[in-house]
A and B are shown apart, each in its own frame.
Chain A
Amino acid sequence: MRISRKVSAILLVALALIFSSCGKSSGVKEIVVGVAGAHSGDLASYGLPTVNAVKLVAEEINAAGGIDGKQIRLVIEDDQCKPEVATNTATKLVGDKVVAVIGHICSGATKAALGIYNDSEIICISPSATNPPLTQSGDYPNFFRTIAPDDAQAKLDVDFATDKLSLKKIAVIHDKGDYGKGFAEFAKSFIEAGGKAEVVLFEGITPGAVDYNAIINKIQASGAEGIIYGGYHPEASKIVTQMKKKGMNLPFISDDGVKDDTFIKVAGEFAEGVYASGPIDTTSSPIAQKAIKAHQDKFGTEHGAFYINAYAAALALFNAIDKADSTEPAAIAAALRSEKVDTTLGTIGFDERGDAIGIGFSIYQVKDGKYVEVK
């Protein structure tokens, strides 16, 4: 018999409903967690170590029986550190019914994704997004991070520039992005508030431009004794290279976006002497040592940027899910805020706003081709 169009339409919808409800029941036996960040593109070196860290932590927990008997399943999505891609990534993860997301990596992308996660109240814990408003504005109650915010970083860099290096005239440059400009604006306000130095230049550069000759000439003409740069390593290495080639040997101080081995690799000899702030070096602790060794054993390479922070974020998140005995966002958030957990960053907790308690930044300098902590 020929089924009329109406009947077949109804049948189709009914089938679809049956299949979709079948899918739901299988999710109960596992805990689905998303890992989002830059896994390709020029900032992949910031995002891939996080994937490795979460994988290692999840494997260890799963091998010991999982959380409350449930296995952890990771959904790994790439956002290329681009805000417009991050919204798609976030939508995809929400559709995959994740209970929490470890990520994103870049502040701009994280902010874009949080808009989506907020609607579903999914917990988002980032190992590297440092833009202060993410926690300080109060707009994102489900956001946590295992890295200190940029104002702490900027204050450290500015104090180092004015006190340790005694710079009186500083040029503050940024890359016009959420992260770089945010950091630079904090640096500028701290310098002006401190009264020990003046900001002789405050400008943004365009990432990906053919060269930065104009801004370098401008820095020279401004009489700056040092530069504070907010942004990522590709532009930083271009500026440092062109500056040093011109014979301008000014101290160059930057943020954790530049404290990356790729910076040293690309800038080569011109990277010598560059300062960058980054998370305090806690790698001597037993947990951190174990994490570093695990990475070396499994992947055969150095761990990379934010690995320690991501490892801590994963430990904190899974601990919270365990202690809360639930995958409801509100319960996980409450557990994160009330529990103290031993991690690669030391024993940490989270405050009302989502910032981690017990961590901080430190200044590093490139010496003999490696970043060395400046005491």
Chain B
Amino acid sequence: MTPELHLRYIGGIMQLDLFIGLLLGGLAKGSIYALIALGYTMVYGIVQLINFAHGEIYMIGAFTALIVSTVISYTMPGTNMYVNLLLSLLAAIAVASAFAYTMEKIAYKPLRNAARLSVLISAIGVSIFLQNLVLVLQTPDFLPYPALLPEIKALEPFRNVISSSQFIIILTTVVVMVLLTILIKFTRIGKAMRATSQDKTMAQLIGINVNRIISITFLIGAATASLGGVMISANTGQMNYYIGFLAGIKAFVAAVLGGIGSIPGAVLGSLVLGLTESFGSGYISSDYEDAFAFIFLIIILIFKPEGILGKSENQKV
């Protein structure tokens, strides 16, 4: 090969590597947004509330896993890493769900018949409260996060464009999506959830325990968000009490972008957001990373106010 061809070959490979790296990175980032956005969209679908405290649930899940896995490493060293991961995840999901359940019962349920603005403000209050609760009970420091996600040997040669953590994140999100779709479409609880989101009063009249369905929705949202929290913190190697803030905002934007209230919309919006950020930073400039996402949102909303997959609000007569 001539030197010029060689350089162009290397350059071409590097450019291809860049593209694939950005693509997979964007999908992984989008997957994390999706796991959080699912919670936003499901809760909105059921009670028409933007749960601003959802980002904090994500953070609490990550924190719980950190605590549990550290305790396990100290008290039972030599535990299989998969067992450690599983226990930490279960603990994270359990604690995050508990917080979500309590949050719903204390801060949202009493305001169910109040003005929409009141419960929104309540949600913001819960968000600030939880951030500071963790800050006070734990520490403001950045904490190192253990590498909980296993390294997949088969992916070693592709370390250049994708890491094991990214692969696991994408895979997990796909699995979660499939399970959730099965739940919503093919189970009784799913049917009850769909009914409740369509018309709460009628659902109650035909015998659905609406309070239980609402709680279950919050629990599922918390489970997916805490899962995301654990995975991204393990990927980045660190976390602190404030990570819920930016991630929560981005996921909320993603949910709105895809159509708030629609589950496939939340995932689509998240992937679009993640990819836009990734390609925008990669090819144009990192300086405007957030701007790309929000500009895209504005454009979509101008042409389709209900979001990409959202249903336009039909007035019920």
Query: Which residues of A are at the interface with B, using a C-beta cutoff of 8 A?
Result: 40-42, 44-45, 176, 203-206, 208-211, 213-215, 217-218, 220-221, 223, 233-234, 237-238, 241-242, 245-247, 262, 265-268, 270
User: How close is B270's CB to chain A, nearest CB, in angstroms?
Assistant: 11
Tell me the complex Cα distance, A198–B141, Å.
36
Which B residue's beta carbon lies closest to that of A263? B142
Answer whether residue B285 sits at the interface, using C-beta atoms and an 8 A cutoff: yes
Q: Is A42 touching B240 in the complex (CB atoms < 8 A)?
A: yes
Does B46 touch A at the CB level, under 8 Å?
no
Select A203's contact among B166, B250, B286, beta carbons within 8 Å. B286
With A208-B243, A268-B237: A217-B282 Cβ-Cβ less than 8 Å: yes
Q: What 20 new A-B contacts, CB under 8 Å, besides A214-B278, A242-B236? A: A45-B141, A204-B286, A205-B286, A208-B243, A210-B246, A211-B232, A213-B26, A213-B29, A213-B166, A214-B282, A217-B22, A217-B25, A218-B281, A220-B21, A223-B14, A233-B142, A234-B238, A241-B238, A245-B163, A266-B238
A214 touches B237 (CB 8 A): no
Give, as a whole number of angstroms, the nearest-CB distance from A227 to chain B: 13
Known contacts A42-B141, A44-B140, A266-B143; is-contact A208 B235 (Cβ 8 Å)? no
How long is the Cα–Cα vector from A99 to B156 in the complex, in angstroms?
A: 61
A40 and B236 alpha carbons, distance in the complex (Å): 23
CB < 8 Å neighbour of B237 from A209, A262, A266: A266
**A42-B140, A210-B32, A247-B160 are contacts. A220–B14 as well, Cβ < 8 Å?**
yes
Chain A residues with CB below 8 A from B26, complex form: 213-214
On chain A, the residues within 8 Å of B140 by CB distance are: 40-42, 44
- Could you tell me the distance between the alpha carbons of A337 and B28 in the complex, rounded to whole angstroms? 56
List, in ascending order, chain A residues with CB within 8 A of B277's CB.
214
- Please name all residues of chain B whose beta carbon is closer than 8 Å to the beta carbon of A233 when the two chains form the complex: 142
Q: Residues of B at under 8 Å CB distance from A?
A: 14-15, 17-18, 21-22, 25-26, 28-29, 32-33, 135, 140-144, 159-160, 163, 165-166, 232, 235-238, 240, 242-243, 245-247, 250, 277-279, 281-282, 285-287, 289-290
A43 to chain B, nearest CB (A): 9
Please report the number of residue pairs spanning A and B whose Cβ atoms sit closer than 8 angstroms: 123
Interface centre among B33, B141, B247, B285 (most CB of A within 10 A): B141
Task: Please give, as numbers and ranges, the residues of chain A lying within 8 Å of B33 by CB-CB distance.
Answer: 210
Cα of A285 to Cα of B120 in the assembled complex, Å: 58
Q: Are B144 and A268 in contact (CB under 8 A)?
A: yes
- Report the bound CA distance from A247 to B163 in whole Å: 10
CB-CB under 8 A from B282, the residues of chain A are 214-215, 217-218
| Closest Cβ–Cβ distance, residue B62 to chain A (whole Å) | 12
**Is A217 within 8 A of B18, CB to CB?**
yes
Interface contact B281-A221, CB-CB below 8 Å:
no
Q: Which residues of B contact A266 (CB under 8 A)?
A: 142-144, 237-238
- Determine how close the nearest CB of chain A comes to the CB of B99; give it in whole angstroms: 21
In the complex, chain B residues whose CB is within 8 Å of the CB of A214: 22, 25-26, 277-279, 281-282, 286, 289
Q: Specify the chain A residue showing the minimal Cβ separation from B240.
A: A42
Q: Which of A42, A205, A211, A223 has the most CB of B within 10 A?
A: A211
Taking a contact as CB atoms under 8 Å apart, the answer to whether A238 and B22 are in contact is no
**Which of A206, A217, A265 has most B Cβ within 10 Å?**
A217
